Amino acid sequence: MALFHNDNKIKRTPGDATIQVLIYIFVGLFALATVMPFLYVLAGSFATEAELTEKRFFIVPSVFSLNAYRFILKDGQIFRGLGNSLFVTIIGTIINLLFSTTLAYPLARSDFRWRNGITNMVIITMLFSGGMIPSYILVVNILHLKNTWWALWLPGAVNAFNMIIIKNYFQGLPKELEEASHMDGATDLQIFIKVVLPLSKPVLASVGLFYAVGHWNAYFNALLYIDNSSMYVAQIILRNIMNQASQAETDEKMDWSALGGAPPSKAVKMASTVVATVPILVVYPFIQKFFTKGVMVGAVKG
Amino acid sequence: MAKSKKNAAYKPVKLPLFKDLKVHKWLFIMALPGVLYMIIFNYMPMFGVIMAFQDWKFRIRGHSGLFAPFIYSEFVGFDNFKTMFTSRTVDFWALLGNTLSISLLSLALYFPAPIILSLFLNEIRSAGYKRVTQTLIYIPHFVSLVIVASITQQLFNTTDGIVYHVLNQMMGGKAPDILTRPQYFAPLIVGQSIWKETGYGTIIFLAALSGVDMQLYEAARVDGAGRWRLMWHITLPAIRGTVVIMLIMRVGSVLNTGFEQIYLMKNDINAPKAKVFDTYIYERGIVQQQYSLSAAAGLFKSVVSLIMVLSANKIAKLCGESGFY
């Protein structure tokens, strides 16, 4: 992150150098504390059940075992969940961007008649909301969206913060290009599609990723609106696996053979966690810079 | 720069409405889906809070239509609020206490954490070390709360959780069961938030710090200022505006502990301390279908949040800060 690099060379006294070392150690420990739990779970998912119960902590299992992964592969539900999540995320993000950019563009134009009125409408939604119950009744009883994908897509179609980030970016674009194509007879829609959107790829990437990660990680909406098990998303299924497992620990009398085999054991829990985490970690290196950029665009202008 | 008359459409000229609709046809059309979205999904629920003043019934005899329940349900004034504040089964004060104990602890620990970490990161001069640590500390932000909850369970459980066993060894076999003991619920939630969001939270402060003119530091150093004076007189003032805005938002959400995290970490044993407004509204309203009572609790929460945000903003402005609008 060259942008943040603070290139000041302070003349160091011995005390100063000690503090400097302590700062490095503290930041390093913090970074270590963030990754250790992931490594622990990753290592555990490849370990045998015996090793997991005997040894308290290891980063490399002594016997490498794929049993846990075989179990969840055979079971298959977490993969079905990942498929559903992918579908929800892709379509959901497209809907988010469509609604957010088309709202942001008129609000970015100083000659749009209702600009102030609609901007105030947006700000009010940031300050006050009807709450969970009226929204739930709207989606379930009035719009009848329960057990449809629309229940996961529509209620959060425009996030006010994200929309304002896009609007601010549009406002920062040089006006000359838009004006030139306007003089060439382009309509506002053509200017939006052919001039404004292509210039806005960085902010669309950032905000698109904010939305996408939100969809991928969402649990509550799926809990509220989806109870058809074939539509379960990955987060719901992971949660179910964890719950099953913790019940199995307390309820010894549970007849697991009737439910098709052994209870989800520790390694299976870990493997399921890994499988649900990996997709986001695989794309993380690519999305990281867009996220930081997006936060900064929002921070500087919001 | 062309300034011909053809350019009129780009100037904020007051045209008569009819002509404006024609000239800017596409702007109106483009704004339409977003505005409809807000009317349906933000404003209709706002009017839906009317049910907090009703004995809201899903079906009303003799009336049909989409909004019939809202129009024909019996109005009961503030009865739902009375029930909420006084009824033993609601136990409002426990709800408020639990909610505040989580949000105040988070204000004290979780709020300053990214500020402190960003000040530390700002002192790091090795670009490589900084890049690697930053990449690592952002990771948990991208992981879902379900995953965080499941990792927490695996680390802290008393049968084979590593953290529990390490604590147990350090404390001579008397480590508390953090996952179930009610008094550890608030620290557990705040600790999770700190682990998950502190790293990512530094971005916004580092962005503010990157705008500081390096000449300020140099000039101060020539004048003999040490590390602490540089931090006090240059670095902290640079992030003050950002800190104030974040604080206003934080204060506004003092009753919003969020639903997911608490719901995911709650269990039968720690439940007494895990009853906060958000989980209560879900369980009363959606699971037990006591819609009016829980809508009243939701409205109470929204109104308090609004008052808190507006007054925090006002106070910030009175203190000479810019506030957030």
Q: What is the 3-state secondary structure (H, E, C) of chain B?
A: CCCCHHHHHHCCCCCCHHHHHHHCHHHHHHHHHHHHHHHHHHHHHHHHHHHHHEECCCCCCCCCCCCHHHHHCEECCCHHHHHHHHCCCCCHHHHHHHHHHHHHHHHHHHCHHHHHHHHHHHHCCCHHHHHHHHHHHHHHHHCCHHHHHHHHHHHHCCCCCHHHHHHHHHCCCCCCCCCCCHHHHHHHHHHHHHHHHHHHHHHHHHHHHHCCCHHHHHHHHHCCCCHHHHHHHHHHHHHHHHHHHHHHHHHHCCCCCCCHHHHHHCCCCCHHHHCCHHHHHHHHHHHCCCHHHHHHHHHHHHHHHHHHHHHHHHHHHHCCCCCCC
Q: Which of A57, A136, A158 sits opposite B286 (nearest CB)?
A: A136
Q: Say if CB B317 and CB B323 are below 8 A apart.
A: yes
Q: How far apart are CA B77 and CA B53, in angstroms?
A: 5
Q: How far apart are CA B178 and CA A104, in angstroms?
A: 46
Q: What is the mean pLDDT of residues B140-144?
A: 94
Place of tokens 């959780």: B161
pLDDT at B212 over 90: no
Q: A193 at the B interface (CB within 8 A)? A: no
Q: How far apart are CA A154 and CA A152, in angstroms?
A: 6
Measured between beta carbons, which residues in chain A are less than 8 angstroms from residue B124?
6, 23-24, 27
Q: B116 at the A interface (CB within 8 A)? A: no
Per-residue DSSP letter, A229: G
Q: Say if CB B69 and CB B279 are below 8 A apart.
A: no
Q: In terms of pLDDT, which residue wins out, B322 or A282? A: A282
Q: How far apart are CA A138 and CA B307, in angstroms?
A: 26
Close Cβ partners of A168 (under 8 Å, ≥ 6 residues apart): A108, A297, A298, A301, A302
Q: Say if CB B220 and CB B81 are below 8 A apart.
A: no
Residues linked to residue B55 through DSSP beta bridges, in sequence order: B74
Q: How far apart are CA B173 and CA B319, in angstroms?
A: 51
**Residue A99 exposure: Cα atoms within 13 Å on the Cβ side:** 22
Q: How confident is the model at residue A260 (pLDDT cuts 50, 70, 90)?
A: very low
What confidence tens digit (pLDDT) does each residue in A17-30 have?
Answer: 889 999 999 999 99
Residue A169's pLDDT is what?
92
Select the residue from B119, B150, B259, B288 to test the A interface by mutation, using most A Cβ atoms within 10 A: B150
B151·A8 Cβ contact <8 A = no
Give the number of beta-carbon pairs within 8 Å between A and B: 325
Q: How confident is the model at residue A258 (pLDDT cuts 50, 70, 90)?
A: very low
Place of tokens 């930081």: A292
Residue B303's pLDDT is what?
95
B226·A220 Cβ contact <8 A = no
Q: Say if CB B144 and CB A50 are below 8 A apart.
A: no
A16-19 own/partner pairs: CB under 8 Å, 24+ apart: A16/B226, A16/B227, A19/B227
CA distance A268 to chain B (A): 11
Measured between beta carbons, which residues in chain A are less than 8 angstroms from residue B306?
127-128
pLDDT at A301 over 60: no
Place of tokens 């009010």: A124
Q: Which of A6, A16, A38 sits opposite B122 (nearest CB)?
A: A6
Measured between beta carbons, which residues in chain B are less than 8 angstroms from residue A50?
none
Name the residue of chain A whose CA is nearest to B33's CA: A99
Cα A161 vs. chain centroid, distance in angstroms? Answer: 15
Q: A34 at the B interface (CB within 8 A)? A: yes
Q: Which domains does chain A have, with CATH numbers?
A: 2-65 (no CATH), 76-230+277-301 (1.10.3720.10)
Residue A211's pLDDT is what?
95
Close Cβ partners of A139 (under 8 Å, ≥ 6 residues apart): A145, A146, A151, A154, A155, A224, A225
Measured between beta carbons, which residues in chain A are less than 8 angstroms from residue B165?
56
Q: How confident is the model at residue A300 (pLDDT cuts 50, 70, 90)?
A: low
Q: What is the mean pLDDT of residues A268-291?
A: 86
pLDDT at A1 over 50: no
CA distance A168 to chain B (A): 14
Residues written for chain B = 325
Q: What is the mean pLDDT of residues B50-77?
A: 86
Residue A254's pLDDT is what?
47
Per-residue DSSP letter, A261: S
CA distance A64 to chain B (A): 19
Q: Say if CB B146 and CB B281 are below 8 A apart.
A: no
Nearest Cα neighbor of B42 from A131, A219, A105, A222 is A131
A5·B309 Cβ contact <8 A = no
The mean predicted confidence, pLDDT, of chain B is: 89
* Cβ atoms within 10 Å, residue A100: 27
**Which residues in chain B (161-190) have CB-CB distances under 8 A to chain A?**
162, 165-166
Percent of chain B with pLDDT over 70: 95
Select the residue from A16, A89, A132, A233 to test the B interface by mutation, using most B Cβ atoms within 10 A: A132
Select the residue from A42, A133, A140, A179 to test the B interface by mutation, using most B Cβ atoms within 10 A: A133
Percent of chain B with pLDDT over 90: 56
Q: B239 at the A interface (CB within 8 A)? A: no
Select the residue from A6, A102, A109 to test the B interface by mutation, using most B Cβ atoms within 10 A: A6
Per-residue DSSP letter, A86: H
Q: What is the mean pLDDT of residues B222-245?
A: 88
Helix (H, G, I), strand (E, B) or coil at A101: helix
Q: Which domains does chain B have, with CATH numbers?
A: 93-130+181-318 (1.10.3720.10)
Q: Say if CB B41 and CB A138 are below 8 A apart.
A: yes
B198·A26 Cβ contact <8 A = no
What confidence tens digit (pLDDT) does each residue in A126-160 have?
Answer: 999 999 999 999 999 999 999 999 999 999 999 99
pLDDT at A168 over 70: yes
What confidence tens digit (pLDDT) does each residue in B158-203 have?
Answer: 887 888 888 888 888 888 889 999 999 999 999 999 999 999 999 9
pLDDT at B325 over 70: no
Q: How confident is the model at residue A299 (pLDDT cuts 50, 70, 90)?
A: low
Q: A21 at the B interface (CB within 8 A)? A: no
Residue B213's pLDDT is what?
85
Nearest Cα neighbor of A291 from B141, B105, B133, B319 is B141
Highest mean pLDDT among A91-95, B81-85, B150-154: A91-95
Name the residue of chain A whose CA is nearest to B310's CA: A127
Per-residue tokens: A289: 């810079």
Residue B60's pLDDT is what?
80
ipTM: 0.88
Q: Say if CB A285 and CB B132 are below 8 A apart.
A: no
Q: A138 at the B interface (CB within 8 A)? A: yes
Between B24-28, B98-102, B182-186, B214-218, the lowest mean confidence (pLDDT) is in B214-218
Q: Say if CB A164 and CB A122 are below 8 A apart.
A: yes
pLDDT at B73 over 50: yes
B44·A110 Cβ contact <8 A = no
A135·B45 Cβ contact <8 A = yes
B129·A35 Cβ contact <8 A = no
Q: How confident is the model at residue A280 (pLDDT cuts 50, 70, 90)?
A: confident
A217·B144 Cβ contact <8 A = yes
Residue B44's pLDDT is what?
96
A5·B127 Cβ contact <8 A = yes
B123·A270 Cβ contact <8 A = no
Q: A119 at the B interface (CB within 8 A)? A: no
Q: How confident is the model at residue A71 (pLDDT cuts 50, 70, 90)?
A: confident
**Which residues in chain B (281-320) have CB-CB distances under 8 A to chain A?**
281-282, 285-286, 291, 294-295, 298-299, 301-302, 305-306, 309-310
pLDDT at A54 over 80: no
**Which residues in chain A (207-246) have CB-CB distances under 8 A to chain B?**
213, 216-220, 224, 235, 238-239, 242, 246
Close Cβ partners of A88 (under 8 Å, ≥ 6 residues apart): A149, A152, A153, A215, A233
A182·B7 Cβ contact <8 A = yes
B38·A35 Cβ contact <8 A = no
Q: B201 at the A interface (CB within 8 A)? A: no
